[in-house]
Structure 1
Amino acid sequence: MEIVIVALECDKDHTHMFLHALPHLSPSNIMAKIKGVTSKKLREEFPHLRHLPSLWTRSYFVSTEGNVSSETIKRYVEQQKTRG
């Protein structure tokens, strides 16, 4: 899909991602692919997850880079592991 993960941080119940994607890709298609692939991989690696009907909720938040720089967004995502 030609998506570049610029920054990624995971918490126990959510993930922050800063992605660069081609403009013809919709956020909903990108998230569907990410959730589908990660669900498949996690179920392969952790068989006890196979009995769950779903690993991810259908919800997500998407924002575009606009009034802030790429570096500001990247720094925000990377700092999520140190907050709290």
Structure 2
Amino acid sequence: MPRGYSKERTSVHRLHYYFIWCPKYRKSVLTGEAKDRLEALIGEKADELDSEILALAVRPDHVHLFIEGNPKLAPNKIMQQVKGHSSRRMREEFDFGLPSLWTRSYFVSSAGDVSDETVEAYIEAQTGQRSVPTRST
């Protein structure tokens, strides 16, 4: 098995997701004890989801999370679990003066070792022809 890949009973995978999300109204509330507690809560939820945190940066008004995903969970479910768990617990422990801790939105991107062009070239080499039209740039 290639280095860096995880093996399950029926799959081999390497799913890395980069998430960014913000507190409601982009308030700078993620400092001091709140920052430390959020880092711990995200770590707990990652363990529960059988996912590994590759990098985490909590800024006063936003969060960056780079995480190895589990193929049983779509990225939106990972985010739903992380934001839901952390919001509930943080609002019990801290008074942020916000109607909810997080905005409903977030950014997600996948990260990998293989470019789109490499995948397209591999598929073309297997079939001898392009399987989908080339995207216009």
TM-score, reference length from structure 2: 0.44
**What displacement does 1:35 show?**
0.5
The 2-side partners of 1:42 and 1:10 are apart by: 14
Percent identity between matched residues is 50
Any idea what SS the aligned residue of 2:111 has?
coil
Structure 1: which amino acid aligns with 2:89? K
The 1-side partners of 2:90 and 2:72 are apart by: 28
2:107 is aligned, of 39, 61, 64, to: 61
TM-score, reference length from structure 1: 0.68
Compute the RMSD of aligned alpha carbons. 1.7
Name the counterpart of 1:24.
72
1:12 is aligned, of 60, 67, 79, to: 60
1:33 is aligned, of 81, 105, 124, to: 81
Q: Name the structure with the higher strand share.
A: 2
Any idea what SS the aligned residue of 2:54 has?
strand
Structure having greater relative contact order (Cα 8 Å, sep ≥ 6): 1
Any idea what SS the aligned residue of 2:89 has?
helix
The 2-side partners of 1:11 and 1:52 are apart by: 18
Unaligned runs of 5+ in 2: 1-48, 115-137
**What displacement does 1:4 show?**
1.2
- Return structure 1 stretches of 4+ with deviation > 4 angstroms: none
Any idea what SS the aligned residue of 1:64 has?
strand
Q: Which has the larger radius of gyration?
A: 2
